[in-house]
Structure 1
């Protein structure tokens, strides 16, 4: 099972996320559930860095992705980052709705 945890600040802005585990919905290399969540999580990291030049704190290894925004961002950068992070979350929620037996999604707004 894939476990997704969305972290938010007191203003309800996404400040980080963790994705861990495997869906085991199909054979390794053919699991569209794992691929979907992994691509969304990794693309968000790339977009934060390449589009907004945010030096995010992240870790990636087999079955694990963790991302956290730095604490010293301006409100404008937090808002721009949240466009990217909320887009990621929309994709994850869509995958969750189709494949909820393989995903746990933890977010105060779910």
Structure 2
């Protein structure tokens, strides 16, 4: 199962950690894994491309692990953009979870 943990104290997404494997289908055919990966990496890439924010990123060597932390000391304008992108990611992942909840779980720590 893929687990996505969002740390969002005071309704600000400060970081997210994605871990595990969906095991929906064999490697290369797993649409749950592909969807979660595309949404997550797309959000991180959008943050780096569309804002002046450089998130702290950790990836597992074998795949199945991604951690992204947003610096606390960014401008209000950048913060607004980053939060919009991360909330868009959360909504997209919730859509996947609604249909494939057996294979992924979202935890929102507020």
Same fold (TM over 0.5): yes
Deviates more, 1:49-58 or 1:73-82: 73-82
State yes or no: 1:87 paired with 2:88. yes
Measured in 1, the distance between the counterparts of 2:38 and 2:59 equals 12
> Taking structure 2 as the reference length, what is the TM-score of the superposition?
0.93
What count of residue pairs does the alignment treat as equivalent?
108
Matches within 5 A, 1:24-103: 24-61=23-60, 62-103=63-104
CA contact under 8 A between 2:5 and 2:109: conserved in structure 1?
Answer: no
Counterpart for residue 6 of structure 1: 6
CA contact under 8 A between 2:7 and 2:15: conserved in structure 1?
Answer: yes
> Taking structure 1 as the reference length, what is the TM-score of the superposition?
0.93
SS at match of 1:35: helix
CA contact under 8 A between 2:2 and 2:21: conserved in structure 1?
Answer: yes
Structural RMSD (CA) = 1.2
Counterpart for residue 19 of structure 1: 18
Deviation at 1:108, TM superposition (A): 4.6
Question: Which structure would you say has the larger RCO, counting Cα contacts within 8 Å and 6 or more residues apart?
Answer: 2
Unpaired runs of at least 5, structure 1: none
Deviation at 1:9, TM superposition (A): 2.7
Unpaired runs of at least 5, structure 2: none
